[in-house]
Every structure is written in C-alpha cells, then in structure tokens.
Amino acid sequence: MKKTFVYSALTSAVILAMNSAYANEQKVEELDEINVVGSVAKTGKVEYMTPRSIAVINDETLKNWDLDQLDASLRYETGALSQVYGADLDTNDWIKMRGMDARLTIDGSAVYNTGYSHWAPNMYGVEAVEVVKGADSLTYGSAQSGGLINLITKRPTTEPKGEVNFKLGNRHERGISADVSDKATENVRYRLVADYNKKQGELRGTWLESYYFAPSLTWDISDRTSLTLLASVQKDVGVPTTGFFPMQGTLQTNLGKIDRRTNLGDPTTDTLDRKQYSLGYEFTHKFDETLTFSQNYKFNMQDLKQQSAFSNGVTVFPTISQGAVFNDVITRSHSIDNRLTKTWTHDNYENRLTLGVDYQYLTAKGAYNSYYCPDCFTSAPLYTLNSLAPIYNGIQVPNSARPDYDVTQRQLGFYLQDQIKIGNWHLSGGIRNDRAKGEEGTARYKINHTSYSGGVMYVADNGLAPYFSYSESFVPETAQYKPTEGRQYEAGLKYLPSFIDGSFSIAYFDLKQDNAFTPSATGNAFQTKELRSKGVEVAANFNVSEKTAITLGYTFNRVKDIRETGDVIRPALIPRHTASAQVTHQFLDNLIAGAAIRYIGTSSNGTADNIKAPAKTLGDLMLKYRINANWELQANVSNLTDEKYVASCFYSTCYYGEGRRFSANLSYKW
C-alpha cells in the first residue's frame, strides 16, 4: 500500500466531506501542486510521511470554519494553544506550541516580531498555514523552541477562478472580499486579492477597520523556469483591545465581578494606526529533472503607531492602577534564500540533497516604552480606575517617556539537508551554521551557532510508520543575556490504513530550552535555567462514510520551569490537557454541516501558589449551503453557548476568553 497525505487532520476533515458534493463543480488547489518556493520543506512540498510532526492547514479549512485570525487557525491543531491572553481584535501571535513560543515567517521569509511590533497577517490573503512542531533552527536559523508557523500567501493558480464574498457578523462586523486568478497571456498568470473588514472588539469602545490588497504575477518563462512576483499593502486603524484584568474581580469574585466587556484600557486615548507593506519574488529553474535552483526574496515593512492603556494591578478593589504602552516604530526586514536541490533515484532508492545559503536583515527604529509608575511597588500609580464603573482618565504619554528604540539584527546561514528513501526506510538529516549579530542601543551580540537535525521512519506495507527524530533551535540575545537553545527528541507512529479512508498518529516529545526567558510580575524578564516540556499528541482523521468525516485530537503537555535556585514552577498559561473533536456531514448534495468541541484544561498562574484558571469546553458550528453553481451561503458560530470564562492567568493578571461570535458569508464563485 502506498499513500501520500499532504494535508493535516484539520484540513482533511472538511475537504473529504465536501469532495463528493462538489467534485465536478469546485477545484481545490492542493498545496503540493503549486510551486511554493517559500515552503518550510524547502522543496515546495510538505509530506505527511516524514519523521516528525508537521501539519498544513489550507485555504478551504480557513474559510469553512471562518478562521480569520492566525491564532484561530490553530484552534484544533494538537500541540498548539491559541489566544492564551484571551480575546483580542487581532491576536495573531499569542500562540504557544508544545508549551513554548513559536516563530512566524511569511513565505519562508523573516518578519520582525519584538515588543508590540508584531506582523499582523490578513488571513484572507493566506493560501495555507504550515506548522512545524518543536525545536527547528535547520529551516530558517534563529527560532523559538516551540516550532515554526509559516504562512503561504496566495499566488496565481494554474486554472482560472474567482470569488466575491460579503460578510456580516455580530459586534457590527461587515466586510467584503474578492479573489481573482486568471491568465494575462499564455505564459503569464496573475492573481488579485482584496479584503475590507470592520468590526467592534470584545471590550467596549474598541474597534478595528482593515484594508488589504495583494497582487501577484507568475511568469512561466519556460517549462523549466518560473518567476512569481508577490506584493501586498495593508492598513489597520482603530481602538485596540488590551484585555488585562486583575485576578480579583475575575477569577476571585468575593468582592465583586468585573464584566468581561469592561474596558480597563482607555478608549478615549487608545489608538492604533498600522501600515504594512511587502514585496518579493520566488524564482525556480530546473537544469534537468534531477537538479533545481530556487531563490526567494521578500521585503517587509511595518509602520506602527499605537497607544494602549492597561490594567496594572489592584490597589484596593475595585480600584486598579493603570499604565500605557506607547509604540511609534518602523520595522523593516529583508530575507533572501538560495538553494540547489539534487535528486538521485534508482529502483527503490531516492536521495534528495539540498544545499543552501540565506541572509536576513531586520531593523526597528522609533520610540517604544511601557509607562505606568516610577516604581510600582514603592510609588503611587500615575493613574487609577474603578474597574466596576470606569471613568476614563484620558491617559497621555509624555515625550519624556518615549525613549528612542533602535534595533538591528543580521543573520547569515549555510545549510545542508538530505532526504533518503531506501525501500521502506525514510531517513532525513541536516546541519546548519548561522552567524548572527545585532545591536539594541549600546548592547551588542555576535554568535556563531551550528544546529543539527535528523530522523528515521520505517513505512511498513500495512501502513504503520514508526519514527524517531532529533532537532535543535537557538535564539541569539543581547550581550547581557545568553542565547536561548533548544533541543527536542520525538518518537511516534503514523498510520495510513487500507481498510478506512483516514490517517492516525501519536507522537511523544521531550523538548528542552536552556536560558529561556521568564516574564516576572514587574514586567521585566529573567533567564531561567531550563524550561522543560514533555507530552503526547494523538490525532485521528477519517471518513466513517462517503458523507461523514471525523477529526479527533488530544494533547497532554507537562511543562516545568526549572530556576537557578532549584525551584520548579509550573509555567503560566499552559494547560496539561487539551482535546478537540470535529464532525462534518453532507446532508444533501448542496448542504454540509459541521460541529466541533474544544476542551482546554486548567492552567497555572505561574507562581508557587499555583492558582489555576478553570477548565472550559467550547462548541463551534458550521453550515454551508450551495445555492447553485455560483452562489454559496455559509454561517459560522464559535463559542456556541456563549461561555463566560477566564482563558488563563499570569501572576495576578487574568484574561477573559472570547464570547460567542457569529458570522454569515454570501459568496459568488466562478
């Protein structure tokens, strides 16, 4: 038996259920059929049968479950935890994987992600989300130990297609989007993607209005040479949400309860004005059927002006102290990756060797600071607010509290990757050397780091595929800190049975990060001796009939923060148990319904007291009705029963989870 699964369990659950209904009317563009130079696989294709945990969430899945924010797209993925700081208008990077932070890249290119200057991708412009779980510096060099999240943006398709969407939702949401791909000439294809959306936030007085436009063009220079140009421009304006609540009044309600929609920021002065630009290309040339050269380059720029007031702790309940974050920073990043891939094949032997060099240059310049009180433990706060009946102060951050912010990071990497198949054996290995240096004010760092990765899998004829892998990661830090270094051992079993259409997997991981940063209650961070994460991920994706598909997932994750003092603390935010289940059923030829359940276990506040946020169970619904060959109507509900819950707590600060959200989409497709 020989099968190749490209999609993750999350992707397949909906797609498999829809295929029989739309097979003759709708062509779904598979990721491995597109020349994706900026993929984490470096060869343009992510394979299921590889000796580590990798997932791909495609465009259809994002649409079917209305996953319009990056963290929401990982809602059902094993090992991933999203919205760990509660609900937000554009929470795109509040993600943990296997209990640790993860690195975000766009089309395989670096973006600046520090402080509040985090790239905010428009998910309508995303073709697929690639997820690599656990330590991995072999792919892009510097990366947090939780893993990689790589977004593949939309680019011209091989077949013409188009759509226009109209969206309405609760919280006064309304939007319109369009996506058109066609041929300009026999050898030139183009794609135009546009999106407009405006909505209110979970907190009173907050809102976000977004504009996005992304043109792309592919020139098939010959049957062996291709060039794709990618560009995007995005503007976001509004009043941001900062959902920081005191533990007293949320988790502890003996003195009163703070409503989850209460804004403990300052909507009279809070503001967000963000502009993002990207420009790049992907080039590939096949010298012959065995030798390919690929190059991708991308320039990203973000101009962010933001002020966000926040709750900074209780004085005497219900009075809280307030602070504000001020950000006026322009970030720029340049990334270029060159690689040569040679493939040897003979009978039951295949060897794919990739040799590459990449370079990243990132800068951030402007003003950035957190402004609240001279010393929050000895001085009176500058601003206070009644958390049960807020009257806002109109917080202003003085010029004296806006210090210059100037950061530069450079990284030059040389890497070698090898994938070998000998009969039933799949072997992979790689080595990468990075030379990184950077400056932040007067602080400097300069390091030379080598990362290793390797794995082995045996694919039996009955579909069982046990595997083992090892990988490493690192992140350079400024001179006063040591580089953070991670390593992961993973052992698992993947199964593609012949008696049922589906896939099953179980993975055990042992992930360690040395010199990890641990935030403190004062807002500063210190390096801990070791952050240790062990766990098990179980996933099942199968069709019980031609009309019904089921996806199941469970994660057990035990994380320990081992301090230099010898103390062992359970880190904040991370539950030990999470689980999800999705069912989609085709009731009629043109009607598909889906239901999902998410379970998130208890999590600690990260102190020796180990105060826990309670477990919660949330339900989601999806309904899609095909009116005719062109028109389609879809409705989605998340948090169906409108559960009012505390998502997590960090020290004495807690975060409410997102309430019920409803949306309806009317689409015209051709």
- Predicted confidence (pLDDT) at residue 35 exceeds the cutoff of 60: no
Residues facing 126 on adjacent strands: 153
- Predicted confidence (pLDDT) at residue 22 exceeds the cutoff of 60: no
In a domain, 388, yes or no: yes
Of the candidates 183, 148, 155, 179, the one whose C-alpha atom is nearest the C-alpha of residue 37 is 155
pLDDT of residue 33: 40
Residue 61 parent element (H or E): helix 59-64
Asked if 5 and 48 touch (Cβ cutoff 8 Å), the reply is: yes
Q: What is the CATH number of the domain that holds 298?
A: 2.40.170.20
- Predicted confidence (pLDDT) at residue 647 exceeds the cutoff of 50: yes
Cβ contacts of residue 347 below 8 Å, gap of 6+? none
pLDDT of residue 411: 98
Looking at the structure of the chain, the number of domains it has is 1
Cis, peptide link before residue 318, omega less than 30° from 0: yes
Residue 320: half-sphere exposure toward Cβ, Cα within 13 Å: 30
Calculate ∠ Cα 520-524-525, nearest 5°. 70
The domain in which residue 661 lies consists of 54-669
In a domain, 33, yes or no: no
Asked if 140 and 105 touch (Cβ cutoff 8 Å), the reply is: yes
In a domain, 638, yes or no: yes
Give the three-state DSSP class for 71.
helix
In a domain, 111, yes or no: yes
In percent, the amount of the chain with pLDDT more than 90 equals: 78
pLDDT in tens, 47-86: 889 999 999 998 988 999 999 999 899 999 999 998 889 8
In a domain, 477, yes or no: yes
- Work out the pLDDT band at 482, boundaries 50, 70, 90: confident
Asked if 33 and 157 touch (Cβ cutoff 8 Å), the reply is: no
- The one-letter amino acid code at 613 reads A
What whole-number distance in Å separates Cα of residue 377 and Cα of residue 373?
Answer: 9
Cβ contacts of residue 328 below 8 Å, gap of 6+? 304, 305, 306, 366, 367, 368, 402
pLDDT in tens, 347-381: 999 999 999 999 999 999 999 887 766 555 555 67
In a domain, 175, yes or no: yes
pLDDT in tens, 411-444: 999 999 999 999 999 999 999 999 999 998 888 8
pTM of structure: 0.92
Gyration radius (Cα) of the chain, Å: 24
In a domain, 328, yes or no: yes
Of the candidates 159, 5, 128, 152, the one whose C-alpha atom is nearest the C-alpha of residue 60 is 128
Number of neighbours of residue 497 by Cβ within 10 angstroms: 15
Of the candidates 203, 244, 242, the one whose C-alpha atom is nearest the C-alpha of residue 654 is 244
In a domain, 27, yes or no: no
Residue 115: half-sphere exposure toward Cβ, Cα within 13 Å: 24
- Work out the pLDDT band at 484, boundaries 50, 70, 90: very high
